[in-house]
């Protein structure tokens, strides 16, 4: 009796439990954003949550061998969707990031995050450990990363491109790519900064300059970040209370249901609630790591760790952005921010993680190295 209980695996249940807490906080935050009114934001978020849970369940049950064989196909379909977005995409808030399907708008760049993780995990699974350290074998995965990154930056969507590149770099490192490759890329990037600066859009340059000096244009480019910092600071230790945040209720806090939702949470829940959310994100990341080390094969491990890095960079960039530590680049907070494409894509990622972990000992095909 004792032995069987010790063998019971609690990691998937813990993961789903923590995600449920985040989703509940999201629903209550939407209710606060609406000023205590359910429709339409809360209702839409409930629909999105239900659809996301369904998609998570579906992708957790699909045959993992089919997912493995279809990895490149999934990547190509999403890449084609990005090309369609470039020419026929719906323009909103000055960017062409969505495909209008009539009843909903789909943002392909969000799904590319998951598609790229699958494609890179597939590629490195098929690489012999001795081949990964050779530079010529990195050309194909580098192209897999650069193609969507260029299309996404053209939308423009610098934040998503940064997350995709950062997540891909993490997968490269975990797969065994030598550190010197990253050092060389870092040096090249630093040397290329003046050239990169010339190709940035004017609003992106303004965001960088505003990050360096938010008070330079308090009522213009610096307004969002200043109001966000005020919201975070005004919450104190225990917050002002649910539905009592003045920055939120008086509409001083911009985009308080999407990119700046953490400012709303900090104002109404204070340092205590913020710390609790940090611990939840940390616990989720730790659970994902523990899941990965229990997997027998490289594909399983890289999918789980790739998703863990995707989650980390989302949280890191969003919190850094709204607290003034990083430039504002428009990155949602996973499982908390309002929005369909990101929420659904992240829950699909959770489904793939659960699938890989459930089938952690299942051989996909004969690989050069496990």
Average pLDDT over residues 169-188: 88
Q: Is residue 163 part of a domain?
A: yes
* pLDDT one-digit tens code per residue, 116-155: 999 999 999 988 766 776 777 888 999 999 999 999 998 8
Report the domain count for the chain: 1
How does pLDDT run across 6-51, given as a tens digit for each residue? Answer: 457 899 999 999 999 999 999 999 999 888 888 789 999 999 999 9
Does pLDDT of 101 surpass 70?
yes
pLDDT of residue 193: 81
- The confidence score (pLDDT) of residue 334 equals 95
* pLDDT in the model for residue 251: 76
**CA angle in degrees (0–180, nearest 5) for 272-277-279:** 95
Residue 4 belongs to some domain of the structure: no
Q: How far is CA 215 from the centre of its chain?
A: 29
Report the alpha-carbon distance of residue 322 to residue 258 in Å, rounded. 11
Q: Is residue 6 part of a domain?
A: no
**pLDDT at residue 159 above 80?**
yes
Answer yes or no: pTM beyond 0.85.
yes
10 Å CB burial of residue 131 (0-12, 13-18, 19+) is middle
Residue 28's domain comprises: 11-358
pLDDT given for residue 220 in this prediction:
65
- Determine the pLDDT at residue 6: 40
Mean pLDDT of the chain: 87
* pLDDT digit string, tens, across residues 60-96: 999 999 999 999 999 999 999 999 998 888 777 667 8
């Amino acid at each position: 009796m004792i032995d069987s209980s010790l063998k019971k695996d609690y990691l998937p249940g813990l993961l789903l439990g923590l995600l449920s807490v985040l989703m509940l906080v999201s629903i209550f935050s939407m209710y606060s954003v609406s000023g205590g009114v359910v429709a339409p934001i809360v209702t839409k978020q409930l629909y999105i949550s239900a659809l996301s849970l369904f998609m998570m369940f579906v992708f957790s049950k699909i045959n993992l061998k089919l997912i493995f064989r279809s990895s490149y196909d999934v990547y190509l379909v999403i890449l084609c969707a990005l090309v369609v977005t470039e020419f026929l995409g719906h323009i909103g808030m000055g960017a062409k990031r969505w495909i209008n399907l009539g009843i909903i708008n789909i943002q392909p760049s969000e799904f590319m995050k998951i598609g790229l993780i699958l494609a890179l995990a597939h590629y490195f699974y098929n690489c012999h450990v001795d081949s990964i350290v050779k530079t010529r074998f990195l050309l194909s995965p580098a192209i897999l990363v650069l193609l969507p990154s260029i299309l996404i930056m053209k939308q423009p969507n610098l934040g998503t491109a940064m997350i995709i590149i950062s997540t891909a770099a993490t997968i490269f490192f975990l797969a065994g790519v030598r550190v010197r490759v990253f050092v060389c890329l870092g040096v090249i990037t630093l040397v290329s900064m003046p050239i990169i600066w010339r190709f940035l859009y004017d609003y992106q340059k303004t965001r960088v300059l505003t990050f360096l000096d938010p008070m330079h244009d308090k009522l213009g480019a610096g307004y969002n970040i200043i109001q966000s910092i005020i919201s975070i600071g005004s919450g104190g230790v225990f917050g002002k209370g649910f539905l009592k945040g003045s920055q939120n209720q008086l509409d001083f806090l911009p985009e308080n249901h999407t990119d700046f939702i953490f400012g709303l949470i900090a104002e109404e829940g204070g340092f205590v609630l913020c710390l609790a959310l940090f611990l939840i994100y940390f616990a989720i990341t730790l659970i994902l790591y523990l899941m990965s080390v229990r997997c027998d094969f490289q594909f399983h491990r890289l999918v789980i760790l790739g998703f863990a890095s995707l989650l980390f960079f989302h949280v890191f960039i969003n919190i850094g952005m709204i607290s003034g530590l990083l430039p504002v680049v428009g990155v949602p907070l996973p499982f908390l921010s309002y929005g369909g494409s990101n929420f659904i894509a992240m829950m699909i990622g959770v489904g793939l993680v659960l699938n890989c972990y459930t089938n952690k000992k299942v051989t996909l095909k004969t690989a050069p190295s496990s």
